[in-house]
Each structure stands twice: as structure tokens, then as C-alpha cells.
Copies of this chain bind each other. A is one copy, B any other.
Amino acid sequence: MIQQTKFGEKMKSMKKVRIKDVAEKAEVSTATVSHVINGNKYVSEKIKSKVNKVLKELNYQPNSAARSLRSTKTNTIGFIIPINSEDTAKSFFMSIAEGIEEKLTSRGYNLILSNSKEDPEQELNLIKMFNTKVDGLILAPTNENFKSINETINHNFQIVMIDRLPIGYKGDYVLVDNFQGTYDGINELIKSGFKKIGFLSSGLGITTFNDKFEVNKELSNNRIYVNPNNERFQAYKVALSDNNISFNPDYVLFGESSFQAGYDLAKQLISKEVDAIFIANNIMTMGSIKFIQEQKLKIPDDIGIIGYDNSDWTEIISPPLSAIKQPAFEIGVQAAELILNKIQNPTSDCQHIKLKTENLKRSSY
């Protein structure tokens, strides 16, 4: 339904006011005006207030292109999220974006948002685009190897990784401690009496797929953080092992991150008579729940469930779903903090932050 109207002729095309206009009206030099605005050189109170008055009168707004060009600072941070269509990670990354935005705004920075759609190629294009546009980049990477990323960065800006880590990356990052959250969750499941615990997840990174079936306790203490899914899987194995439950590869299924995959894989897993399922991602949890409800299986009597990522819906289904909650907003805040620090002090040590998950015990196990 489309309508059209005439409009817009009468824009009171007030020509933009430049620093020169302010300077003239205040009877000072442009330099002085600049000093007043940026406060980086001492200006007498008398002049300062005179300039400020004119600034308000003319409603002056500095031209950010000119400013950036001269000062080589853009006052802008880029954020690349990896979301493909139906993913519910949408809400996770949106919360992160909120956290970032909040911190940035309070420090006079802007946020440019782009979506790599989980496409490594597209990610590199975006990084290239950002080269002259931002002072820093917050990246939830989809390229698995840092090398290709590193090559397209001009090093005109700082970078902070979140949520995942490409191989070979040593810089700043903010992650969630997926290991601990999962480990605790599996433990709880076992304590509640479940023995045949299934594990459902979306794909591991290719690079870590080979150690998929290798239960390795050492790994848990000194592990290379690459892919959250992998961490969760490792934690699953270690938790089983720590409880003297043998690892059964049949109880582990990986699929794409989708509702349908969750549905299908839950079906498979249940046909293998698991008595509980740990589902390492939100949208797959939804698919699984759908299947379970269709089969009229009772949670937690027939099957115990823990989901990852506390979405709003988890507490209104019946029974309310136990879940591992990631501190999304906080990730954003911390990432923004890191990048701003790094911009201010580029040679400072890199910070590696891991945030704790929250274990929401409800009634599904």
C-alpha cells in the first residue's frame, strides 16, 4: 500500500555554520574557537564564555568529516555481527550491541553496525570498508584463521574480538566462559540422576573438529579458546569423565543452527533413548522443545533439558526451562571499554576477559 504527497519544498535551508562563522561573530580566530570546543589549550574565561555564547546562538555543530580528516580520528567504532537470517543469536548480538552503544555514547563515540552473515568473504570486505571509517573494530569473527583477517586490516584501527576467537589471534578479547557454564550444567544434570545425557550443538569450527572425540582433561585447564561450541563440547566430555560416566559418541549430534535441525536431531537423540539433553544453542533448543512437546513427553520426568542462552521465552514454557545465560549486554560494555582504552593507549597490554555465565535452574531437570 503506497501513497504519495507533495512535501519538502519549504526546507528552511539554513546554510550550515562553519567554525569560521563562529569565529567572526565572536571576534576571535578560528583557532581559539577550536580551543574552546576541544579544551586542549588554555583560553581565558572571558573569551571562552563569549565563544560559547555564539556557539549556542548559531547552534554550531562541528563537521565531522573535516575533523576526522585533520585529526585522523573518526570517533567511530565498527561492530561486525555474524547473523544468518533465522538465527536467534540475533537477540544475543543485539544485546551486545546495546552494551557497546551505551558505553560508546557516554564517551562521544558512534557505532557502525554491519553483518557478515557468517560469510568469511563478506567479513573481509567489511573490514576493508572500515579501514578509513573507524578508530576501532569489535568483531565476532567468522573467519577461523586470524591470518586472512590480519592481512586485510590496515592497522589504522584497533581491534577487539568477542564471543569467538580465530586461530592465531593474540589481541584483546571478551569471551564467555562457555566451559564452566556447560560443565556446571552437565554436573547438575548428573546430580539430578540423569545418566544418558545427549549433547546437541551446531558445528564446531573446522579447525577443531579433529579432536572431537578425544576426551582430554588437560585441555580443560589450558585450552585454546576458539569456538564456543567446541568449548561446550569439551566441557561436556570432561564433566562426564569427572563423574565416571563413559562418553558415548552416539549421544552427540552436530547440525546447523536452525529450528529444523534442532527438531530433527532431538528426534534422533531421543530414539537412542537418552534421558536428558544438553542443547548448546538457542534456536536448536526451540526446535527440540517443539519435538518433545509434539511427542507429549514430560519434562523433566521423561527427559531432562538444559538449554544455552536464556531467551525470554524460556521461563514461560511449561515447565520453565533451565538455561545457561550469557551476559550479553556486559560483553558489549566490556568490549567497548577495551577498545576505547586501546585507542587511548595503543601500546598498552592486551586484555583477555572471560565473563561468567549464569546458571538458571528452573524446572526442566
Copies per assembly: 2
A5 within 8 A of B: yes
Choose the segment among A236-244, A249-257, A350-358 that binds chain B (4+ C-beta atoms closer than 8 Å).
Answer: A350-358
A34 within 8 A of B: no
A11 within 8 A of B: yes
Q: Which residues of B contact A351 (CB under 8 A)?
A: 2-4
Give A12 to B152 CA distance when docked, in angstroms.
Answer: 12
A300 within 8 A of B: no
A216 within 8 A of B: no
Chain A 1-29 near chain B by CB (<8 Å), digits 1 or 0: 11111111101111010000000000000
Chain A 161-189 near chain B by CB (<8 Å), digits 1 or 0: 00000000011000001000000000000
- Report the nearest B residue to A72, measured CB to CB: B65
Shortest distance between the CB of A180 and any CB in chain B (Å): 9
Chain A 102-143 near chain B by CB (<8 Å), digits 1 or 0: 100100001111110000000000001101110000000000
Given the known interface contacts A13-B155, A105-B114, the answer about A3 and B66 at a Cβ–Cβ threshold of 8 Å is no
Give A76 to B91 CA distance when docked, in angstroms.
Answer: 24
* CB interface residues, A 48-79, toward B, < 8 Å: 61-69, 74, 76
A217 within 8 A of B: no
Give A205 to B338 CA distance when docked, in angstroms.
Answer: 40
Shortest distance between the CB of A346 and any CB in chain B (Å): 7
**Across the interface, do A155 and B114 meet the contact criterion of CB distance under 8 Å?**
no
**Across the interface, do A115 and B94 meet the contact criterion of CB distance under 8 Å?**
no
Give A91 to B91 CA distance when docked, in angstroms.
Answer: 6
Given the known interface contacts A5-B170, A131-B61, A350-B8, the answer about A286 and B316 at a Cβ–Cβ threshold of 8 Å is yes
How many residues in A have their beta carbons less than 8 Å from beta carbons of B?
77
Given the known interface contacts A4-B351, A5-B350, the answer about A312 and B88 at a Cβ–Cβ threshold of 8 Å is yes
Give A3 to B173 CA distance when docked, in angstroms.
Answer: 10
Given the known interface contacts A129-B110, A286-B313, the answer about A154 and B61 at a Cβ–Cβ threshold of 8 Å is yes
A361 within 8 A of B: no
**Across the interface, do A11 and B353 meet the contact criterion of CB distance under 8 Å?**
no
Question: Interface on A for B, CB 8 Å cutoff?
Answer: 1-9, 11-14, 16, 61-69, 74, 76, 83, 88, 90-91, 93-95, 97-98, 101-102, 105, 110-115, 128-129, 131-133, 154-156, 170-171, 177, 259, 283, 286, 289-290, 293, 311-313, 315-318, 346-347, 349-356
11 pairs, CB–CB < 8 Å, chain A vs chain B: A3-B351, A4-B349, A16-B132, A62-B132, A64-B132, A65-B74, A88-B312, A97-B113, A110-B129, A112-B112, A293-B318
- Knowing that A61-B131, A76-B112, A110-B133 touch, tell me 13 more A-B residue pairs with CB under 8 angstroms: A1-B356, A2-B351, A4-B350, A4-B351, A7-B170, A13-B155, A14-B154, A61-B132, A65-B74, A91-B94, A102-B115, A113-B113, A311-B312
